[in-house]
A = this chain, B = another copy of it.
């Protein structure tokens, strides 16, 4: 049939970074694939995590009543009540704060959490339009198409701070942020940032988060901290993970990066009024979130195994990968001008190539032609207005050593041919 499609569908069907990434991921990770997959953020399969979840699954099968509850009854629109109670206890200890089940929402993965949050705090309001502000670009590829209304996002470029040779970090431009809030606070509904940053791995310091809370609270603007890779689980942070939960902070967590993306379980922690609104929206959009992830992972928390899984298995795995990958790049690109973002956590290296003669998009295509999948930098911003990002790429570290090293070697060869 010759249908016409909505404005939203037309907009995203042309060029969505996250759609391309998820399609590349499915092809790259399918059995028999010959690609070197340094693209999307699929976690590694870590045996100890899989053992823990299958043990929980055996347990669940051994309790017919519990099994029937998990499979046979819709959870509350805010998510399984018993799981939220266990999480409330866990988060209260981690953030030294009183966190109750009424502060917790379970979702079908953190992408779904962001969708709910962005449409609660941005889009059409009674007095006009509000936007989500990303205070430090580059920022997560999956945020930028996640608005049904056009122009839901605005952003500030990160400031490049050079470190020792071949290394740098991005910093928040605090003065610009304060000026922005002062001039535009009526148009900003939410600040959002990932910690560690996806793609750069930047772990914003506790002190900086405290400052952000202070300036945003003044204007009653909430701040989303996306901990998909961070504190307290999966805990892939090479610096300091802990920070304080301020009343205008909204915390997002995910089970995916532990190695369990098939469960599609996300968690939001926020003030009760926010959770209530999100719960209504989730009831409307999907009745209730999935019940299997909560039923299984609750057992891992109850057995007090979560922190050990993260600290003894997940964190060391990715720290080692980061070292291996940095060694390959430092070795093969030694004679060129290149800068890696200091590796502070997550599963990624962020590589800046100021002398690249082609765009990152063209580099992506040349790499793909040789079976190496990366993600070009321009996708990590809501608009294509920062030329710097055309010189950057994100490299995922989750694949086995051999695939990682061979893929990186091929990548470096292609880079050297285009510099």
Residues in A lying within 8 Å of B, measured CB to CB: 1-10, 12-13, 16, 18-19, 22-23, 25-26, 29-30, 40, 42-43, 45, 50, 53-54, 57-58, 61, 64, 67-77, 81, 108-109, 111-112, 115, 119-126, 130, 142, 145-146, 148-149, 189, 217, 220, 222, 247-248, 256, 259-264, 271, 273-274, 277, 280-281, 283-293, 295
Contacts and interface: CB of A to CB of B under 8 A. Distances in A.
A261 B23 contact: no
Contacts of A263: 71, 290-292
A287 B108 CA distance: 10
Given A54-B61, A57-B61, A108-B112, 4 more contacts: A42-B74, A108-B108, A264-B288, A264-B289
Most buried by B among A13, A115, A124, A286: A286
A53 B60 CA distance: 13
B286 A73 contact: no
Contacts of A72: 43, 45, 50, 259-262
A74 B262 contact: yes
B121 A3 contact: yes
What 7 pairs across the A-B complex have the smallest Cβ distances?
A262-B291, A26-B76, A45-B72, A264-B290, A71-B262, A19-B283, A7-B124
A149 B146 CA distance: 15
Contacts of A217: 1
A92 B355 CA distance: 55
Contacts of A13: 277, 280
